Each structure stands twice: as C-alpha cells, then as structure tokens.
Amino acid sequence: MTKRIEFQLAATDGAARTGTIRTTRGDIRTPAFMPVGTAATVKAMMPESVAATGADILLGNTYHLMLRPTAERIARLGGLHDFMNWQGPILTDSGGFQVMSLADLRKLTEEGVAFRSHIDGSKHMLTPERSMEIQKLLGSDIVMCFDECPALPATDKAVAESMELSMRWARRSKEAFGDRPGHALFGIMQGGVTQELRGISAEKLKEIGFDGYAIGGLAVGEGQEAMFGVLDYAPAMLPEDKPRYLMGVGKPDDIVGAVARGVDMMDCVLPSRSGRTGQAWTRQGQVNIKNARHADDPRPLDEHCTCPACRNYSRAYLHHVFRAQEMISGMLLTWHNLHYYQEIMSGMRQAIAAQRFDAWQQGFHSTRAMGDIEPL
C-alpha cells in the first residue's frame, strides 16, 4: 500500500465537475453521494445492498464508534472494513460536529473537547490528536481534520474565533496524521456565511496542504438560499485539482445545486432516515407512504425506478408494512431512497461529461415540480 489517493478530473460543465478519486480500496466516481453508516451499518441495509444502489464509498462516524464499540475494539477485530463487511473506501468524520451536537456536558478548550457520552455518561476527551488516532484505528481511507462548527446564527466575532480555532486544529491534525501512504487527510473550511472568513480559512488550509478539502459549517439550519450563497464562491477558493466535499448535505435539490456550484462529494442521513419514517424521495418529489391514499394502490412507488422496492412491491404493500411496523418497511424504503440518490449522482456525472448539465437540471426540476402521481 504505497499508492497515494489521487483525484482525476475528467470533465467540467460550468462550475460542475466530474471525475474519479482513486483509492487503494477502489474508485470513487464524482460527484459522489456517501450513505452514512453511523454505527458501522447503514441502517436497514446489508452492505451488498448498499453497493447495489451504486454507492462507491460509505461514511462512518468517529463519535459513535469511539463510544461503542470503541475504536480500539474495532482495530483488534481487523478494522472497520472487515468489522462491517464493507471492502470499499470509507470516509470517517472527525467527531467534532457530533460531539457538539450529541454529547453531554461539553467543555471546549484550546486542547479539544471534554464531554460525557450520551450513551452511558462516561468521560471522554476529543482532541485533533485523539481524533487522528481513532480514525487510524478504524482504518479509514479518508480521514477528516478535527474541527469546531459553531451553531448558526452566531456573531461574526464568534464565527471568526471558531474558524481560527479550527485552523489551529487543522495544523495539529496534519501533524498527528503524519505520512500514511494510501490514506488521505481532508481539511475543513469554516467561516460561516461570511465570504471574507471563508477566504481566510481557505488560504490557511492550502498553506497546510491537504489531499482534499471539505466545506464545513453549512447545513446547520441556515437554509438553502444562504447555503447556495456560500457555495457561489467557496468551492472556487479551494484547489481545483483536489476533491471538494460538502458535509451533511442534503435534500435532492440541495445536492444538485451544490454540484452545479462545484462540489464533488456529499453525505447525508436523509435518504436512510426518511426510509425508516415512511418518507420516500422520488423523481416526482416526496411521497408519504403512511398516507391512506396508498392503501389500495397497486402501482409501484415510481414506475421508472429499477430498485427492488419499486420492481417487486406495490404502494399498497409498502403502506401496509409501514402501518404494521414490519422491518421490511424501513428496508425497502431505505433501499429505494439510496437508489434514487445514486441515480441522481450518475445522471449528473453523465450530463456533466456530455456537457448537457443545464438541460439535465431543467429536467430534474420540472419532473419534481409535477408532484406525485394522481391518486387512483
């Protein structure tokens, strides 16, 4: 394993890009959507089913895994890939975002974040160095810098101080990561919705030098308009020859808008979480399978979709198993949602390569605007 992770840009159309991230565990076609495997599983899915939807890479959560079953135990059992039976690339987050949103009794200092586990109240400390150690124990292919993300809205002063702290942590992360051939370290840009701060953050990250760059601190409640406002300038502040990753995004139209603005990678729990609450994302918008209108409907969720939920089951069945709280409900809807997300990604990759991304976007938006099929 001496090979470096490489990014090859194949084509651009406007600001949108398509290419390939080559890793020792396989290629990641970009733009890429990464399903979230929080606790070493994409909930309700077998790994081979996740692969069948077209996913090239999964995301794992450092915060959850360090608490249970612990990174040390996963390392003893051969690393996260073997543990969860996913041999493709894995990206792990740094734990920074989740420790601030999930942990109890947090205390933020220059050193890092001390906190108590939300599971059993046990005491822990996450620092840039500890985050790098955990992600190494997990065997992650793409490691994220430890950063701090302020909840918006926040004052400019608070956003600036938080960004500066994250940049100091980025340098410590790089030093702790060291030289690990075959593994990549991504820096994370912060700076809220302020262009000047985003620019400062980008310059500091480039000075340190990373294998890829994430745009952090978005999708935290600022709304799509404000997010797109940042994405109108932020991706261009980052190196053109490295992958750009927008963290925690999003709904299908967020993803399309982000790719149109130059983003290469995204992740979100939305398709899998929605699948467990009876929500389906389709080409014609959202469908709530709980709704009584589906009870006698023999038609598939989406007649053009080739996923197992749409090929083999009716809306009436999906409605019934949701109401009856059968496990297959979450399995089928999650499969459909992940399949649909990957279909959007492959559609965008092909359209960008063929220089017809504008036309593809028009089709995407007009089909969504039609809304769900009429009730029978």
# binding residues, Zn ion (CB under 5 A)? 5
Site for Zn ion in 62-81 (CB under 5 A): none
Tell me whether residue 272 is annotated as binding.
no
Q: Residue 122: exposed, middle, or buried by beta-carbon count in 10 A (0-12, 13-18, 19+)?
A: exposed
Choose the binding region for Zn ion from 19-27, 120-128, 177-185, 328-336 (rule: CB under 5 A): 328-336
Residue 149 or 309 having the CB closest to Zn ion: 309
The least CB distance from residue 299 to Zn ion, in Å, is 12
Q: Applying CB under 5 A, does 45 fall inside the site for Zn ion? A: no
Helices 357-370, 252-260: crossing angle, 10 deg rounding: 160
The least CB distance from residue 127 to Zn ion, in Å, is 43
Here the tokens at position 206 are 């480039």
Choose the binding region for Zn ion from 156-164, 193-201, 255-263, 332-340 (rule: CB under 5 A): 332-340
Q: Applying CB under 5 A, does 58 fall inside the site for Zn ion? A: no
Residue 94 or 282 having the CB closest to Zn ion: 282
C-alpha 43/C-alpha 38 separation (Å) is 8
Q: Applying CB under 5 A, does 204 fall inside the site for Zn ion? A: no
Q: Applying CB under 5 A, does 336 fall inside the site for Zn ion? A: yes
Residue 128 or 300 having the CB closest to Zn ion: 300
Beta carbons of 61 and 93 less than 8 angstroms apart: yes
Site for Zn ion in 252-271 (CB under 5 A): none
Q: Is the CA virtual torsion 45, 264, 269, 338 positive or negative?
A: negative
Here the tokens at position 96 are 């920074």
Neighbours of 341 (CB within 10 A): 23
Strand order in the sheet with 113-116: 104-108, 113-116, 123-126
Site for Zn ion in 299-318 (CB under 5 A): 305, 307, 309-310
Residue 336 or 349 having the CB closest to Zn ion: 336
Choose the binding region for Zn ion from 42-50, 132-140, 335-343, 344-352 (rule: CB under 5 A): 335-343
Beta carbons of 237 and 197 less than 8 angstroms apart: no
Tell me whether residue 279 is annotated as binding.
no
Tell me whether residue 217 is annotated as binding.
yes
Here the tokens at position 139 are 């065997």
Catalytic residue among 13, 93, 211, 302: 93
> 297: which DSSP letter?
-
C-alpha 349/C-alpha 317 separation (Å) is 33
Catalytic residue among 56, 211, 267, 297: 267
Active site residue 267: yes
The least CB distance from residue 366 to Zn ion, in Å, is 20
**Where do the H-state alpha helices sit in the chain?**
47-52, 62-67, 71-76, 80-84, 96-102, 128-138, 156-177, 195-208, 224-231, 252-260, 270-276, 308-312, 315-323, 327-353, 357-370
Helices 252-260, 224-231: crossing angle, 10 deg rounding: 20
Interface pattern 141-160 for Zn ion (x via CB under 5 A):
--------------------
- Residues in contact with Zn ion by the rule CB under 5 A: 305, 307, 309-310, 336
Name the binding residues for substrate. Answer: 93-97, 147, 190, 217
User: Which residues form the catalytic set?
Assistant: 93, 267
Name the binding residues for Zn(2+). Answer: 305, 307, 310, 336
